């Protein structure tokens, strides 16, 4: 079986690529041109690389050709920037995905596995932990685009029988997460703490998120490949919340040093709390996170200490 990973050169995609290769799958990576390619830990099993533009229908069709399964990890925007230009969000993410779905239908792709956003599609939670049945009221264009893609996946299933699985991810972190990115608080915090630089926090640090190690995100993605049940939308996270202040406290304990903190005005698109209920994935996918939060922090610190180069984009 050949798997196409759209966005496979990034943080999550690079780890997924190695996991699929280790399980004996053929892997094709599609990502933007001139991307710094990660160094595989499996030199005798390398992915095929294709470069192109996700919004270019011909590029995407070429990437899909000859594959059996597609992992859709691409996002051209971030939550913090998406509200500045919602039209761009739709033109690139939603329309780009529609081109992908048409190409997948034409080439008889068996299944599409989509990395959605458990932190944005629900909006301000009415209750926590958040179940998949919770109302979806995103407060940023990023979340609306993710939810729209979910709906189109279901439409193509109804119209054409296309199989799909949606994983509403919380906040994965770990090795290779790019410290210069605008997304990925833990990697940024750890890098600044190691450099004894001040860590900027939007708001008073009470914002709570669900953080989990990248290896657990990858295990969910690979598990979804073999899943054949009727439920198609799953929350994927730790099921536990950590405030930004609690993360900084954990970093101080891990490093044995005080970190500098700088508090800035809160951002309008940040929901106050987001903790996902992962019981459905535990029951139906037989998946649950394996890496404790502190262990994930420690692994990330060791990677940052041993890698001076910028890691792939998230």
The number of distinct structural domains making up the chain is 2
Q: What is the pLDDT of residue 314?
A: 38
pLDDT of residue 312: 41
| Residue range 219-229, pLDDT digits in tens | 999 999 999 99
Task: Give the domain extent around 105.
Answer: 2-172+211-236
pLDDT < 70 positions in the chain: 39-44, 180-183, 308-314
CATH (domain of 33): 3.40.50.720
Region of 150 (left: φ > 0; alpha: ψ -120 to 50; beta: rest) is alpha
Which residues are the active-site residues? 142
Beta-strand relationship, 69-72 and 111-117: parallel
224 within some domain: yes
- Tell me if 286 is assigned to some domain: no
Interatomic CA distance for residues 51 and 166, integer angstroms: 25
Same domain, 70 and 191: no
Q: Please state the pTM of the whole predicted model.
A: 0.94
Question: Does some domain include residue 284?
Answer: no
Instruction: Looking at the structure, tell me whether residues 215 and 148 fall in a common domain.
Output: yes
DSSP 91: I
Q: In the structure encoding, which two tokens stand for residue 20, read together?
A: 């699929």
Residue 280: predicted pLDDT: 98
Is 223 found in the same domain as 198?
Answer: no
The model's pLDDT over 164-218, given as tens digits with 9 standing for 90+, comes to 999 999 999 999 998 866 567 899 999 999 999 999 999 999 999 999 999 999 9
Regarding whether 295 and 228 lie in a shared domain, the answer is: no
Label residues 32-53 b or e (16+ Cβ within 10 Å = b): eeebeebeeeeeebebeebebe
- Answer whether residue 312 is part of any domain: no
**CA 289 to centroid of chain Cα atoms:** 15
Q: What is the pLDDT of residue 81?
A: 82
Q: What pLDDT sits at residue 183?
A: 65
- Copy the structure tokens of residue 118: 């458990």
- The answer to whether residues 228 and 86 belong to one domain is yes
Q: Residue 86 contacts by C-beta under 8 Å, 6 or more apart in sequence? A: 141, 144
Report how far residue 295's alpha carbon sits from residue 32's, in angstroms, rounded to the nearest whole number: 32
For residue 310, the model assigns a pLDDT of: 40
């Amino acid at each position: 079986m050949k798997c196409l990973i759209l966005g496979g050169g990034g943080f999550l995609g690079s780890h997924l690529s190695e996991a699929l290769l280790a399980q004996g799958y053929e892997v094709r990576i599609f990502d933007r041109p001139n991307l710094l390619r990660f160094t595989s830990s499996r030199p005798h099993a390398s992915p095929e690389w294709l470069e192109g533009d996700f919004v270019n229908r011909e590029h995407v069709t070429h990437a899909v050709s000859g594959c059996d399964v597609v992992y859709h990890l691409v996002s051209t925007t971030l939550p913090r920037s998406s509200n500045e230009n919602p039209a761009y969000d739709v033109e690139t993410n939603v329309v780009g995905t529609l081109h992908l779905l048409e190409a997948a239908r034409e080439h008889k792709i068996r299944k599409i596995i989509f990395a959605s956003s458990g932190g944005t599609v629900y909006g301000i939670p009415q209750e926590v932990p958040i179940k998949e049945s919770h109302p979806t009221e995103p407060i940023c264009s990023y979340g609306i685009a993710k939810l729209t893609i979910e709906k189109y996946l279901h439409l193509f299933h109804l119209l054409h029988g296309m199989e799909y699985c949606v994983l509403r991810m919380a906040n994965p972190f770990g090795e290779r997460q790019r410290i210069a990115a605008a997304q990925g608080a833990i990697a940024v915090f750890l890098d600044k703490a190691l450099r004894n630089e001040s860590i900027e926090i939007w708001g008073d640090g009470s914002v709570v998120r669900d953080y989990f190690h990248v290896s657990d995100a990858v295990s969910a993605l690979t598990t979804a490949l073999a899943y054949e049940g009727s439920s198609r939308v799953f929350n994927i996270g730790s099921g536990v919340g950590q405030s930004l202040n609690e993360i900084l406290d954990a970093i101080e304990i891990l490093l044995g040093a005080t970190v500098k903190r700088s508090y800035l005005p809160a951002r309008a698109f940040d929901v106050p709390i987001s903790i996902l209920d992962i019981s459905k994935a535990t029951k139906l996918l037989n998946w649950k996170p394996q890496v404790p939060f502190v262990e994930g922090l420690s692994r990330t610190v060791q990677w940052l200490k041993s890698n001076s180069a910028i890691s792939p984009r998230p």
